[in-house]
Amino acid sequence: MTEFFSPRPHRVFSKGFYKSADFDYEVRGLLGAASHGNTDAGEVLATIDGVSDGDHEHWFQAWHDTGSRVRALADEEVKAGDAVGASSAYLRAATYFGVAVNAVSGLESDDLLVPTFRLHRSSWEGFVDTVDRVVERVDIPYAQETLPGWFFRPSDDAGTRPTLVMVNGSDGAVSGLWNSGAAGALARGYNVLLFDGPGQQSMLFERGIGFRPDWEAVLTPVVDFLLHRDDVDTGRLALYGISQGGFWIARALAYEHRFAAAIADPGVVDVAASWNKNLPSSLVKLFHAGKKDAFDRDMALGMKFSPGTARTWKFRARPYARDSYFDTLTEVHRYTLTEDEATRITTPLLITDPEDEQFWPGQSEQLAAGVSGPTELSRFTAAEGANFHCQPMARQLTDARMFGWLDAVLPR
């Protein structure tokens, strides 16, 4: 056999698309999302073709422009009576506008945040109106509010089905949940419930409602809502949480025991760890010493010399709804699963554990070791094309493992 040797091997997968970790991770996720139609690879690569590392203005504009162009295609497909083409284009437009929403954090002003979010959400609603699934828009009772949601069924056949409840992360667009398990669940005969929780998307941007750590207060009303539906098999409720949603579902499962199985993608027990690692040790010491004035003073000084960091902090801190740097970080530290809470988790749990996890390394193993119920730790590797947070370029592989595990665990 002839051996082929390249003195300059192609290393884009390992070296990355950008030196900027944020840009690179976004591109990986967008390319991976093509597997379920959330993106088209050519659109992604064409969009980034002229965007330089760290050029936040161009990054935002490029995704906004691509979203606008694809949205126009979707509208044309509707006029032509092509629901399949319209559905595909609306989903892609929603995905691209979702990138633009988060890209606002790199701009001088956040004036474009809500208008861009509304373009994303109206594109998503266009997808909901044209997709070849049965979809019901729902309002889930929650405290004195309601949570906006979408209940998908694979068909309009009568009878009950297993149902997957999907919990988003800290800044994920609802369209991202389609690629992260919703499409795979529907293809396998599951109902799927998607919704905005407190601090997520419309609840934050349009209603001004921030995060809360005690997600049992969110998921218990969700379960109550589902138990009253005649198309839900109440003995086969499954729960999925992506990114920071891995913390929220773990916290909820310590108190809400009506789910038959759950998936944390990945396991998260200490949200603040991803914040602390980006702070100088001197600031960490001030924080743990409780020196609020000195911490806020030094943080403010540092932000003056790094406007980009200041904008990112503002965007990340917004859902925690606190006024000062110190108070924000104090609030983030409340998002911790205690040992006692971990032992309360008895629901069968699948926990993804990707190689090169960049936000909460080691926490999947920590969660698996702390819970009382049956647990499976599913490792994903670079050799499989499945490394980094939430396996952005291996969602088909993730689906296969998730639903293979659910088939074995859920009662028949």
As annotated, the active-site residues are: 243
User: Is 198 in contact with 216 (CB distance < 8 Å)?
Assistant: no
User: Is 63 in contact with 29 (CB distance < 8 Å)?
Assistant: no
Residue for token pair 């990986």: 28
Looking at the DSSP bridge assignments, the partners of residue 270 are 336
User: Three-state SS for 323?
Assistant: coil
Residue for token pair 């997600």: 215
Cα 20 from chain centre: 20
> Please, what is the angle between helix 245-253 and helix 216-227, to 10°?
70
Please give the C-alpha separations between residue 247 and each of 128, 241, 323, in angstroms, as whole numbers.
28, 8, 24
Per DSSP, 289 falls in state T
Residue for token pair 């009878």: 159
Residue for token pair 């929403």: 101
State the pairing for strand pair 134-142/161-167: unpaired
Q: Can you read off the two tokens belonging to residue 114?
A: 């809500």
